[in-house]
A = this chain, B = another copy of it.
Amino acid sequence: MRLRFWIVNVGLLILGVLVGAWFLSPTSQDQVGAQDPLRGVMQARNLSLDDALAALRTYTPTGVPDEYIMFASGGHSGHVLVVGLPSMRILKVIAVFAPESWQGYAVGHRETEEILKAGGKEITWGDVHHPALSETQGDYDGQFLFVNDKANGRVAVIDLRDFKTKQIVKNPLIYSNHCSAFVTPNTEYIAEAPQYSMPYPVGTYAPLEQYKEKYRGPITFWKFDRTKGRIVPEQSFAIELPPYWHDLCDAGKRVSYGWAFCNSFNTEMAVPNILQMKMPLEATTARNEMDYLHVINWKAAEKLVQEGKYETVAGMKLIRLATAVQAGVLYLIPEPKSPHGVDVSPDGGYVVVAGKLDPHATVYSFQKIQEAIQKGLVEGKDPYGVPILKFDATKAAQVELGLGPLHTQFDDKGYAYTSLFLDSAVVKWSLGEPYFKGDKAWKVVDKVPVHYNIGHLTAVHGDTVRPRGKFLVALNKWSIDRFAPVGPLHPQNFQLIDISGEKMQRLYDLPIPIGEPHYAQIIERSLLKPFEVYPQVGFDPIKMAADPAHTVQPGKERIERKGNTVEVWMTAIRSTYTPDRIEVNQGDRVIIHLTNLERTRDATHGLAIAAYNVNLSVDPGENATVEFIADKPGVYPFYCTEFCSALHLEMAGYLLVKPRTQAMK
């Protein structure tokens, strides 16, 4: 009886457990639960849990803005890419060094064609390497973006109120400004040094046999006027450097404010001559075990300029090498083999150099550098008389990271992240004091593979005085098999990595559909305050102010002829041009002033003119001007290239060019 009693009870208990288990089992949840559909999709699409987590960490629903904005160089597309994080969607391509007709940039638009002419009006492309956001006290302020054109030695200014290029300056001394753009902590200057030294000013000829005597690698400090939003060439200066090949630079910050640090390679001063020597530059420029870190006191250089201790070369104030050395503006420090990246820690106390043919990060102490300078701890001078500070006297640490270390970024917890080109990996390691003490310092703590051949990497505010941590992006040079094939020219590959935890986690692969990005910077979106529509009708994006003289008022549209010049005062509003008929004679100069009368966000209008290579893009409230010679007779439709309403296709007109003689007809 008792036995049977317990058998039944235990039996019922087990039955109950099973019933209860069944009740909440996956199969039963199918009917009720909200979780299983997720598992169903994961199974159907063969997604691992990590995949699913990555999907949920990056997916950004409609109408939800991304938390961070990345400005990435567009490499040899000449453009800049604007990417939202964590969704990794490319939000905009900003045209900088190449005409871009969607934006109406330098395709008939008079003002932007003027901007692009800097450096020669025949130059229609650029090679953007290193974007630099404007800084206030060493942190991004969200006001301006600066980028370089390595191919032609130019620097551009982009205003982040409207995400448009405002200025391009051509360096009169150099080309190949790989070391650019980087800014000083309050955007006093944008610096630029050449990769491949050359005789200057540009256009100067000197045979390679005179390389050591006549070639030089000056670093230029372009003065930036924040209120004007422009570089001021007259207030800029350059410092002559030896003809080594200059790689990246970084500005000192906090304790090292006022200083700059530049890598160099080819301190062998080898020159190309493979047909005769049968030796490639790869070999001849990489013989020395040590190259030179350049330590530059730009504050002292600024003082030299104020004291008039410069020569003017092709309009640029140039501090000669001897003057710089004598004034303590320039020092060298040995650095291991063919370095690439140099990055200053958030507190300004460390200078991290990655030698691409050396497995270590070499970390210099700014304090030790200063002591070495004061105590004269030099091991000699280079052939140009520049004092060489002792390596051991300035070194803080050397950390073995892996093969092909290139660049370093920082987080908010005292860790450094370095890209390893040959290992195709990102390595996370700890800095020394004040971040980590004793044997916690200078330690590799994590490593994650990336696909493939990483160049730069970038973290949220990762090169400022206040890194935010959270995300890091690996800028990979090769994608090979990562994406659906699109021909022999493969996209690059950006990989988003979560760095909020101890272990790095890869979240997302973004193919780069145009250009080869080199460096990028990531800013908190809340720091950007762009116009979503221009503040008033008649706004001139170049002046960044209203321009009554060129604003066409509704009702005042007209066509005025003065001799052979026909001036058209035109307005655009959904979906009509006024006037919509332009009749001129062959050979007339035609000037069209166009005002977009719209006040609605996104109500941009275009103006395309057949066969005359004109496409304007005129945002709500914006003024634009096009000027051309009507040298082709015939009938040329013009129309709006931004779909603006249901009757957008009716937003059109005709340009009629009457031939000089009817015989031409």
Question: A611 touching B124 by the CB < 8 A rule?
Answer: no
Per the 8 Å Cβ criterion, residues 486-540 of A in contact with B are 486-491, 495, 506, 509-511, 513-516, 518, 525, 528, 530-534
Per the 8 Å Cβ criterion, residues 93-136 of A in contact with B are 93, 98-103, 107, 119-120, 122-127
The yes or no answer to A445 lying at the interface (CB within 8 A) is no
Question: A199 touching B57 by the CB < 8 A rule?
Answer: no
- Work out how many copies of this chain go into the complex: 2
Per the 8 Å Cβ criterion, residues 466-488 of A in contact with B are 477-488
Q: Out of B205, B583, B646, which one reaches A634, CB within 8 Å?
A: B205
Question: A604 touching B513 by the CB < 8 A rule?
Answer: no
Does more than half of chain A's interface fall in helix, strand or loop, or is it mixed? loop
Residues of B within 8 A of A581 (CB): 208, 271-275
Could you mark each residue 265-291 of chain A with 1 if its beta carbon is under 8 Å from any beta carbon of chain B, else 0?
Answer: 110000111110000111001100000
Question: A516 touching B643 by the CB < 8 A rule?
Answer: yes
Interface stretch (choices A62-70, A180-188, A316-324, A388-396): A62-70
Question: B49 touching A84 by the CB < 8 A rule?
Answer: no
What residue of chain B has the Cβ atom nearest to residue A85's Cβ?
B484
- The complex places the Cα of A525 from the Cα of B644 at a distance, in Å, of 33
Q: Give the interface centre of A215, A455, A489, A642 by most chain B CB atoms within 10 Å.
A: A489
Q: Out of B484, B622, B643, which one reaches A84, CB within 8 Å?
A: B484
What residue of chain B has the Cβ atom nearest to residue A206's Cβ?
B635
Residues of B within 8 A of A162 (CB): 487-489
Q: Out of B19, B76, B488, which one reaches A20, CB within 8 Å?
A: B19
Task: Evaluate whether A511 and B91 lie within 8 angstroms (CB atoms) in the complex, with A275-B579, A637-B175 already known.
Answer: yes
What residue of chain B has the Cβ atom nearest to residue A529's Cβ?
B485
- The complex places the Cα of A175 from the Cα of B40 at a distance, in Å, of 52
The yes or no answer to A602 lying at the interface (CB within 8 A) is yes
Residues of B within 8 A of A93 (CB): 513-514
Could you mark each residue 181-205 of chain A with 1 if its beta carbon is under 8 Å from any beta carbon of chain B, else 0?
Answer: 0000000000000011011001111
- CB-CB nearest 10 A-B residue pairs: A16-B16, A20-B20, A55-B59, A163-B487, A272-B580, A101-B125, A175-B610, A196-B637, A65-B484, A488-B619
Q: List 6 A-B contacts (CB under 8 A).
A: A12-B16, A65-B484, A90-B511, A205-B665, A282-B647, A357-B646
